[in-house]
């Protein structure tokens, strides 16, 4: 037994020695194939864990600090996985132009498999025929510019209940002031917009619910996703330290599977409900206003082997999950910035009054003419992108970034915040200056809040439409003030997205100039 223990200890010691020497190597060069490869610089690592000890929240800020010491391209070893971090516009362009195919894959993380249909969902599947098929369906049939434009009625139909709630909160008749927490209202609105666009759920909206304007289905789906999201966060160390998968003492795996199964069953019910509704609709309905599910069910009748129920789920669940939180978050950041810059808020209000007037609510047709509002949205996305790091990519072959060798299977992390605030590129990069986008001075500079290249988010047009209509309506309908005239806290939270650490609360008052329009909403 003593000899066995000694042998085990020797093996463990040898493992740590090899791992330590690999950490000390620092990634500067190697001598494979008789040559020398220039590898990205790397911080000091520790055995087994690599650089996991350097991972802090918010992650993009921790990576920005590392980039200040190691440069715009550096490597990390995250347990058993290798990663490269890119923090400059030039390097990001290189990744998504000449190396775009190389980095078109996604890392397949074990903890995410149950939640992403075993890696088949559109945002998580690897580059190949399956992804190309999903991307084609999304861009041609679901999220084309023409279809998104026809969804404007859905957005407007969900904005009105939110405004109505705020008016009622202001006092009977909507003539007082109200203290509102925008986060919940904005989340419910974006949640309902996407649920209506995907599954046509307005028919079952509760008639009188003081707490929410979400449909019954939207509330149920929110409950399921709220249950699943923290479980994924609790399990993500498995992706980098495989040994931990054997010690699931809290039953996280089982809970993830149960929550994902509940979500999938809910989506199948939505698909069946839409299929039944289509069968009962003899006239065929309005093709331009059909839900995303009904569009794909119609295609399923002609090509059942392509447009399967699984394909519908692989598309709709990620679009829904990705769009809800990020859209609401961007509007909340925009309102926070405007409250800290009341002169900008007033300028936007004057622009809307001048072009739209006070006899109707803002519409999607007004958006191209509201130049300053578009500048505010662009500056918000520059400073506070909803995804401060792009979803991870993975190299499918050896390649080079900025002259550094990147091996196949390396995770690519792109620091969007660092790129958007690069002082070499942007004048006063940390300041909120929407005017910087007015004269075209910054046209052509890299802005990637929705990603870049083949894996760019297909929902960008819909997201911008929702953000523009909702933000424009809030500015048009209400006068806004900060609580106790205190600066809005702009501290960023943590996570894959970019939430505010302190949810926005503000004072709103219905605008006298909009009284007649607002009275009709009550």
Known binding-site residues for heme equal 457
Reduce the DSSP state of residue 113 to 3 states and report it: coil
b/e 37-76 (16+ beta carbons within 10 angstroms → b): bebbbbbebeeebbbbebeeebbbbebbebbeebbbbbbb
Angle between helix 371-383 and 309-340 (nearest 10): 100
Show Cβ contacts of residue 25 under 8 Å, excluding neighbours closer than 6 positions: none
Q: Give the whole-angstrom CA distance, residue 173 versus residue 478.
A: 14
Whether a cis peptide bond, with omega within 30° of 0, leads into 58 is: yes
Cβ-contact 207, 239 below 8 angstroms: no
Rounded to 5°, angle at Cα 182 from 177 and 188: 125
Reduce the DSSP state of residue 152 to 3 states and report it: helix
**Tokens representing 141?**
């049939």
End-to-end CA distance of the chain: 82
Q: Give the whole-angstrom CA distance, residue 331 versus residue 474.
A: 10
Helix or strand run (H / E) with residue 378: helix 371-383
Using CA atoms of 390, 396, 399, 405 in order, give the dihedral in degrees to the nearest 10: 80
**Tokens representing 123?**
């945002």
**Tokens representing 477?**
């309908």
Residue tagged 């007037």 (tokens): 357
Measured on CA atoms in the order 464, 466, 470, 472, is the torsion positive or negative?
positive
Cβ-contact 175, 214 below 8 angstroms: no
Residues comprising the binding site?
457
Show Cβ contacts of residue 414 under 8 Å, excluding neighbours closer than 6 positions: 85, 86, 92, 95, 389, 390, 393, 448
Q: Give the whole-angstrom CA distance, residue 415 versus residue 87.
A: 5
Cβ-contact 505, 180 below 8 angstroms: yes
């Amino acid at each position: 037994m003593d000899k066995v223990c000694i042998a085990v200890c020797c093996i463990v010691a040898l493992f740590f020695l090899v791992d330590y020497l690999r950490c000390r190597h620092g990634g500067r060069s190697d001598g494979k194939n008789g040559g020398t490869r220039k590898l990205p610089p790397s911080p000091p690592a520790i055995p087994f864990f690599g650089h996991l000890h350097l991972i802090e929240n918010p992650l993009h800020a921790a990576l920005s600090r590392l980039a200040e010491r190691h440069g715009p391209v550096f490597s990390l070893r995250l347990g058993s996985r290798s990663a490269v971090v890119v923090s400059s516009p030039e390097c990001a362009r290189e990744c998504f132009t000449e190396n775009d195919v190389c980095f078109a894959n996604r890392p397949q993380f074990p903890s995410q498999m149950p939640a992403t249909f075993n890696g088949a969902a559109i945002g998580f599947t690897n580059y190949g025929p399956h992804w190309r098929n999903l991307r084609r369906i999304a861009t041609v049939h679901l999220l084309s510019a023409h279809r998104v434009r026809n969804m404007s009625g859905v957005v407007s139909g969900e904005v009105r209940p939110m405004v109505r709630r705020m008016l009622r909160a202001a006092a009977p008749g909507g003539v007082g002031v109200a203290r509102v927490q925008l986060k919940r209202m904005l989340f419910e609105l974006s949640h309902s917009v996407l649920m209506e666009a995907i599954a046509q759920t307005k028919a079952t909206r509760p008639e009188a619910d003081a707490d929410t304007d979400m449909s019954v289905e939207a509330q149920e789906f929110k409950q399921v996703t709220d249950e699943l999201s923290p479980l994924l966060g609790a399990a993500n160390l498995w992706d980098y330290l495989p040994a931990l998968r054997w010690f699931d003492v809290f039953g996280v795996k089982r809970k993830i599977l149960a929550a994902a199964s509940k979500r999938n069953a809910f989506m199948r019910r939505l698909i069946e409900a839409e299929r039944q509704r289509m069968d009962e609709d003899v006239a065929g309905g309005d093709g331009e206003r059909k839900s995303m599910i009904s569009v794909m069910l119609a295609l399923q009748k002609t090509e059942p082997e392509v447009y399967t129920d699984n394909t519908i789920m692989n598309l709709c669940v990620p679009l829904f999950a990705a769009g809800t939180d990020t859209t609401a978050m961007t509007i909340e950041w925009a309102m926070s910035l405007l409250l800290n810059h009341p002169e900008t808020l007033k300028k936007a209000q004057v622009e809307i009054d001048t072009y739209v007037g006070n006899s109707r609510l803002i519409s999607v047709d007004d958006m191209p003419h509201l130049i300053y509002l578009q500048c505010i949205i662009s500056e918000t996305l520059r400073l506070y992108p909803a995804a401060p790091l792009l979803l991870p990519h993975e190299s499918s072959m050896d390649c080079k970034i900025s002259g550094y060798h990147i091996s196949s299977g390396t995770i690519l992390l792109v620091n969007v915040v660092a790129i958007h605030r690069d002082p070499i590129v942007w004048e006063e990069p940390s300041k909120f200056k929407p005017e910087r986008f007015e004269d075209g001075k910054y046209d052509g500079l890299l802005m990637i809040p929705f990603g870049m290249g083949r894996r760019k988010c297909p929902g960008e047009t819909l997201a911008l439409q929702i953000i523009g209509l909702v933000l424009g309506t809030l500015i048009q309908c209400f006068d806004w003030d900060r609580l106790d005239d205190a600066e809005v806290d702009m501290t960023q939270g943590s996570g894959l997205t970019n939430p505010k650490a302190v949810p926005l609360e503000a004072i709103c008052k219905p605008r006298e100039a909009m009284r007649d329009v607002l009275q009709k909403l009550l």
